[in-house]
Amino acid sequence: MPESKLDLLQKTAELARLELNDEQARALGPQFDAILAHFEILAAVDVEGVPPTRGATDLADVRRQDLIQESGPFEALLANAPDRQGEHYGVPKTIGEGE
Amino acid sequence: MSVSQVAGFRREGTEWISESSGTRWIPVIGLEVHAQLRTMTKLFCGCANRFGASPNSLTCSVCTGQPGTLPVLNCDALELAVRAALAIGAEVAPTSKFDRKNYFYCDVPKNYQITQYDMPYCSGGSITVPSGRTVRLNRIHMEEDAGKSVHDQGDSTLVDLNRAGVPLIESVTEADLDNAEDAAAYLSALREILIYTGVSNADMEKGEMRCDVNISVHPVGAPWRTKVEIKNLNSISNVVASIEHEIPRQIAAWEGVGPDPVQETRLFDAEKGTTRTMRSKEGEADYRYFPDPDLPPLTASPAFIEEQRAALPELPGARRARYQAEMGLSAYDAGVLTAARDVADFFEAAARLSGRPKEAANWISNEILRALSDDEYEAQLIDELPLKPFDLADLIGLVDKGTLHMSGARQVLRQMMKSGKAAGELVIELGLEQVQDDEQLEAWCAEALVGREAVIEQVRGGKTKAVGSLMGAVMQASAGKANPQKVREILLRLIGTAE
């Protein structure tokens, strides 16, 4: 696997918050390569004049009324959290801000 | 707003002239505004869209991103979003779609935000601010809000997802601004439109409207330079302060004090009035936008768009112009009356019913709005008062006919604001009906003259103003019910001085 593709693999892993050591990167390399090769086949298809797909179904305008439904189930939702802090989800301390 | 003085700079119009180099710098500013839509529920699920509920009590399997759940678009959110677009004269796209913006942060439970990337529902539009500058909008798109994280309690960051999934519109201006004053005026105008049209409450203190500022500086005539984004400004005054801080900071950096500005996101520290680096800007591709396969595309038919246009009220700018041109109000009064839609609606009804727009305007701005800010009344909004526009019209009529004098009318108004009783009823109840009976008035006047020879001499000597103190005595004797005009006439006649 050429260096640039390894970089791409590392970058992709980083965006997915995955840490790969050299050994793992080498092992994943060929698999990643095969995936990219497959996308190259797709990329080569002539789509001139074909409108972009905006969904996998023919549905459009699926909407609901603006009516309140019961929220929850809170206990079940909070039970999924590895670290529950009262009514909150606890997560490792993050400094900085979201989007 | 006055232009602040910054050491080391001279300001000429919108140019900043560096005193050390003599270079004339010009700022380039664009604004991104997030506004929460005034819906009952979230954008893609039926959880209530409400501020201030206990943590995570307004969440479900959809807005917490559980596997196997599907988002379904709230039709009211779309309607409100389209109204906002029409109110600023923008184009509504016949088709648009939702995309996923992928990033990892604890307040985004799905690890992506549903937003609109390359096919927003709205493009174009503009708002003209009082300085005469027209600020063009590039686009408005719909998206979902993120949750909230609390960092300052204990060892963990605490996450509340009540806000996650609340419907937002994000409006993005072109970089048409070059000073803080116009930026503030643009935000005020946008906020006013959002509130008027019922699209958003736009309460910045509650985070219902938030602003990001994109800003760069360049020497006059030179190409634009690297822009910096200042995030999450939660008041118009903070937007002004951050711009006024960021312009000289960037100029100083370009002129060699510190490293050159880089493309980054900065945070405004409201206490210090400064900005600091939050993170260097991730490239757009890193968000790996792609169409959300869970949400089919949406269309806006011409009929749907026209329906939304018909639901729009007359906007504040148009109302202000009409009040001045057709009703003869001052620009100031027109501004006061149109600042909130309910006040403007109240005024128009009272003006129509009484046929006296100027009087209606005076009563509302001098008495009613002032009284509403007192704690004495339960009502905070004009709509919440038991006093209705036809009551005010009645009151204006009574003053007009001379049944009620001004100070009595004020008394009646205050009672009407509390009890909602009719003006005529209160006039009798409070015993305020003006006494027009000449005999009674003469008796009060004659009484007032007793023992006030000095004043009488002054009046005879030509100082007719002195009659005021005599009138005061009559008003006191009549408990405020004497018609002042008549009292004056009678007093002057009795003293033997006709005007």
Q: Are B282 and A11 in contact (CB under 8 A)?
A: no
Contact residues, chain B, for A63 at CB < 8 Å: 72-75, 78, 298
How far off is chain B from A1, nearest CA to CA, in Å? 23
CA-to-CA separations, B4 to B10, B27, B189, in angstroms, rounded: 10, 15, 23
Question: pLDDT exceeding 90 applies to what percent of chain B?
Answer: 66
Place B499 in a pLDDT band, splitting at 50, 70 and 90.
low
pLDDT at res. B2:
47
Distance CA B119, CA B297 (A): 10
Total number of domains constituting chain B = 3
Contact residues, chain A, for B82 at CB < 8 Å: none
Distance CA B392, CA B383 (A): 13
User: Is residue B304 a part of any domain in this protein?
Assistant: no
Mean pLDDT computed over B118-141: 96
Instruction: Say if B107 is an interface residue toward chain A (CB within 8 Å).
Output: yes
Place A99 in a pLDDT band, splitting at 50, 70 and 90.
very low
pLDDT at res. A95:
62
Q: Looking at per-residue confidence, does A89 or B430 come out higher?
A: A89
Place A49 in a pLDDT band, splitting at 50, 70 and 90.
very high
User: Is residue B308 a part of any domain in this protein?
Assistant: no
Q: Looking at per-residue confidence, does B406 or B242 come out higher?
A: B242
Mark yes or no for CB contact A77/B105 under 8 Å. Answer: no
User: What are B136-148's pLDDT values in tens digits?
Assistant: 999 999 999 999 9
Mark yes or no for CB contact B75/A96 under 8 Å. Answer: no
pLDDT at res. B453:
87
CA-to-CA separations, B337 to B218, B362, B364, B371, B390, in angstroms, rounded: 41, 10, 8, 15, 17
Establish how many alpha carbons lie within 13 A of residue B417's alpha carbon, considering only the half-sphere containing its beta carbon. Answer: 24
Instruction: Say if B68 is an interface residue toward chain A (CB within 8 Å).
Output: no
Report chain B's mean pLDDT, rounded to a whole number: 91
Mean pLDDT computed over B204-208: 93
User: What are B450-462's pLDDT values in tens digits?
Assistant: 888 888 888 888 8
Phi, psi (rounded to 5 degrees) for B160: -120, 120
Mark yes or no for CB contact B279/A91 under 8 Å. Answer: no
User: Is residue B2 a part of any domain in this protein?
Assistant: no
Distance CA B473, CA B455 (A): 12
pLDDT at res. B364:
96
Distance CA A25, CA B250 (A): 42
B198: containing domain: 9-299
Place B133 in a pLDDT band, splitting at 50, 70 and 90.
very high
pLDDT at res. B4:
61
**DSSP string over A38-98:** HHHHHHHS--TTPPPP--SSS----EE-------B-HHHHHHT-SSEETTEEEEE---S--
Place B434 in a pLDDT band, splitting at 50, 70 and 90.
confident
Phi, psi (rounded to 5 degrees) for B302: -55, -35
Contact residues, chain B, for A91 at CB < 8 Å: 106, 149, 156-157, 159
State whether B339 and B369 are in the same domain: yes
Instruction: Say if B216 is an interface residue toward chain A (CB within 8 Å).
Output: no
Distance CA B458, CA B476 (A): 21
Where would I find the beta strands (DSSP E) of B254-396? 264-269, 274-280, 290-291, 298-299
Interface of A with B (CB under 8 A): 15, 17, 53-57, 59-72, 74, 77-78, 80, 83, 85-99
User: What are B462-491's pLDDT values in tens digits?
Assistant: 888 888 888 888 888 887 788 888 888 898
The last residue of one of the domains, among B402, B429, B456, is B429
User: What are A84-97's pLDDT values in tens digits?
Assistant: 999 999 998 866 54
State whether B402 and B480 are in the same domain: no
The last residue of one of the domains, among B299, B323, B350, is B299
Mark yes or no for CB contact A88/B47 under 8 Å. Answer: no
State whether B449 and B372 are in the same domain: no
pLDDT at A98 over 50: no
Instruction: Say if B295 is an interface residue toward chain A (CB within 8 Å).
Output: yes
State whether B417 and B448 are in the same domain: no
